[in-house]
Amino acid sequence: MQRPIYLDCHATTPVDPLVMAAMLPYFTEHFGNAASSGHLYGWEADAAVQQARETLACAIGAAPEEIVFTSGATEANNLAIKGVAEAYLNKGRHIITVATEHSAVLDPCRYLQTLGFDVTVLPVQTDGLLALATLERSLRPETILVSVMAANNEIGVLQPLAAIGALCHERQVLFHTDAAQAIGKIPLDVEAMNIDLMSLTAHKVYGPKGVGALYVRRRNPRVQLAPQLHGGGHERGLRSGTLYVPQIVGFAKAVALAIAAMPQETERVAKLRDRLWQPLSQLNGIGLNGHPTKRLAGNLNISVAGVDGQALLLGLQPVVAVSSGSACSSKSIAPSHVLEALGHDNALASASMRFGIGRFNTEQEIDRVAECAIATIQSLRQVARV
């Protein structure tokens, strides 16, 4: 049976063959524990980890010692948010985030509310962008952290990181960004953008699942974190646990490949996205979700009026693998909280599709998906009228 065309690259991406080739020796020949400092096997593993740390640091304008490896962006977000909350108790208990954040940010914030922290969840404009004036009005003397994602996982919107970071540093408030969807797709520079904490993951950029990292600023200011995992003191005491060397090697390789190809790949994928959107936009009742230009090149999120969302997803399934929202919460039938934050009602938020176009997609695939989507929408609307 022919497999569907994969257009769900915001959920995950296939591992690039070059990434797999880089990882394989560290499962077999170079299998040592990076913490084993008394023999060659440990030295080889540690050298590979340090090289990966340098690669990731270079990709975001950081220093290697500022990279802390984690199991993924969810753990990195938890370490950043809960780690700051615990470490800065004496300064304040106020945290600011945004309504369109991933649940890996919103849920830790909700948890902190049960411990007595005050969390302000800011609205966004109808295009998904955070208004800087709204953020500025929300800052208080007791604010210790602002968390705003770099690129939205559903609608692809790119927030103004540099402006947010400048505002936070002016008020001496720490700035965290979830950059899981952004690494390797847009330029990131923690110094130029005044970012204090940045969460990363490998599997959104053609690397393996199960590995991520947290950038933790060490100068101007030096960020303090309370570790959330204890037992061994790995990663300078910030994240205990034996390092997963093959995945770390793969993570660095994936990011290096993405950075090297970023200008050309951004242009290519944006053309594919526009090729898909052009015929879809000719239908009545089709709306683009998120800012039309300040978005990831491979993201197309649309709402389809007059159809049932689940029926639309089922109709597309034989031809194309897409998502109706965040893959991390796709088992829930609740409408997307991101689209609700844009002002959509339940019906329109439920009847939405997220197309995530990636490295291995072709023009022929895009044309086939457009043809299928148009036929499915027209068919469902005809049935609804009967």
**Which positions are annotated as active-site residues?**
328
* DSSP-derived pairing of the beta strands 197-201 and 212-216: antiparallel
Instruction: Report the chain's terminal Cα–Cα distance, integer Å.
Output: 33
Which candidate, 353, 348, 273, places its Cα nearest to that of 319? 353
Sheet holding 286-288, edge to edge: 286-288, 299-304, 352-356
Q: Supply the DSSP string of 246-272, one letter for each residue.
A: HHHHHHHHHHHHHHHHHHHHHHHHHHH
Contact 66, 91 (CB under 8 A): no
Both tokens of residue 193?
């953008």
Q: Which two structure tokens, joined as six digits, stand for 242?
A: 């034996």
SS3 content of the chain, % helix, strand, coil (to 5): 40, 15, 45
Task: Return all residues near 41 (Cβ < 8 A) that are at least 6 apart.
Answer: 30, 31, 32, 33
Distances from the Cα of 277 to the Cα of 27, 158, 295, 326, 356, angstroms: 42, 19, 14, 20, 12
